Chain A
Amino acid sequence: MDMRTAIIATLTWGLVTGVAMVKSGLTESMAVLMTVLVYAGSAQLTALPLIASGAPLWLVFAAGFIVNVRFIIFGAALHPFFRHLPWPRRLALGYFTTDTSFVLFLPRFGDAKIRGTREQLWYFLGVIAPGWIAWQTSSMVGIVLGARVPTEWALDFAAVLALLAITIPLVKTRPMVLSVIAAGAVAWVGQLLPLRLGLLLAVLVGVTVGLLAERALGRPRL
């Protein structure tokens, strides 16, 4: 992925998320607050149906956390490059880390012999700053559009499709396929449980099945 692709992806995502926030019932001011503070498309899109159905707040937090768990792994990979910096800067660099900035940064510097150079820091800043601007701009456009587009256009479905678009590329190995099928089946039946608890149950089953499948099959590629 190059910078141009990353920006186009970010713009599309931001636009869809902006529309989805308003279409799921958030007021425009709440949508703006959400996009500025949370700055995490998949967590926002995940939380929207939960918020719309009035799910308990701890479940909103748990769902957002689980979807964001990948950033813990990204953080572990990025930490060696920035560990020499004072903590406020590490806090800021961490908060502004996105999928695309990680995907642009790591292939470029993953094998670097010296970690923590000025070049690496400036490259990372050069990736996260335009990413933030692109995201916030397109989200705001989406929020304005979302408030003006009729509900019959079913544009909220674009948010589901956007989630689908990040989920499919994750499913590359056979254990991952089995994990996702198990999670999907539990999530389908789990709709009968109160408080959208089916979500948590689906994640637990998905992770368990994935680990068991990996143990049984090794880690073959599809």
Chain B
Amino acid sequence: MDTYVVIAIVLLFLCSVICRAGYMLFGDYLPLSESVRRALRFAPAAALTAIIVPEVLPWSAQTGPAFDYRLIAAIVSILVFQWTRSAVMVIVSGMVALWTLMWAIG
């Protein structure tokens, strides 16, 4: 388990170095075409969404799609963001919503 985690961390370190320093190092030889730039703009939000969705809308092969209070808490925090434009409030309101639901309904 530990070797697996260490390798994963080293790979993520390489991700940081390649993505952040790659252009600084080789920018003179790497023209980034407009169409590639356009495509790249969509990738981070899609990847982040793809990580968030299974956390709030779990679906396992055995039990089928499931409901989780986290979905409601996430929706509350999105609404709070639209209202406050504050990242900190997203975290605070989402946690408060989840705790309230867990406490009220169990």
Contacts and interface: CB of A to CB of B under 8 A. Distances in A.
Contact of A161 (B61, B77, B99): B77
Contacts of A217: none
B48 A42 contact: yes
A191 B7 contact: no
Interface in A133-180: 153-155, 157-158, 160-168, 170-171, 175-176, 179-180
Nearest to A168: B81
Contact of A91 (B21, B32, B43): B21
A97 B50 contact: no
Contacts of B19: 65, 68-69, 71-72, 75
Interface string B42-57: 1111111111111111
Contacts of B46: 179-180, 183, 202-203, 205-207, 210
Nearest to B17: A95
Given A160-B55, A161-B95, A51 B48 contact: no
Interface residues of A, number: 92
A75 B15 contact: no
B105 interface: no
Contact of B53 (A68, A70, A184): A184
Interface in A21-66: 26-27, 30, 33-34, 37-40, 42-47, 49, 51, 54, 57, 60-61, 63-66
B51 A199 contact: yes
B24 A30 contact: no
A154 B47 CA distance: 23
A40 B95 contact: no
A12 interface: yes
Interface string B1-36: 010111111111111111111111101101010000
A96 B14 CA distance: 13
B44 A30 contact: no
Interface in B57-106: 57-61, 65, 70, 73-74, 77-78, 81, 87-88, 90-91, 94-95, 98-99, 102
B6 A46 contact: no
A40 B16 contact: yes
A112 interface: no
Nearest to A85: B24
A57 B55 contact: no
A167 B23 CA distance: 24
Given A154-B102, A203-B46, A214 B38 contact: yes
7 contacts: A30-B6, A37-B16, A91-B21, A154-B98, A157-B73, A166-B48, A202-B53
Interface of B: 2, 4-25, 27-28, 30, 32, 37-61, 65, 70, 73-74, 77-78, 81, 87-88, 90-91, 94-95, 98-99, 102
Interface of A: 8-9, 12, 16, 26-27, 30, 33-34, 37-40, 42-47, 49, 51, 54, 57, 60-61, 63-76, 78-80, 82-83, 87, 90-97, 153-155, 157-158, 160-168, 170-171, 175-176, 179-180, 183-184, 186-192, 198-199, 202-203, 205-207, 210-211, 214
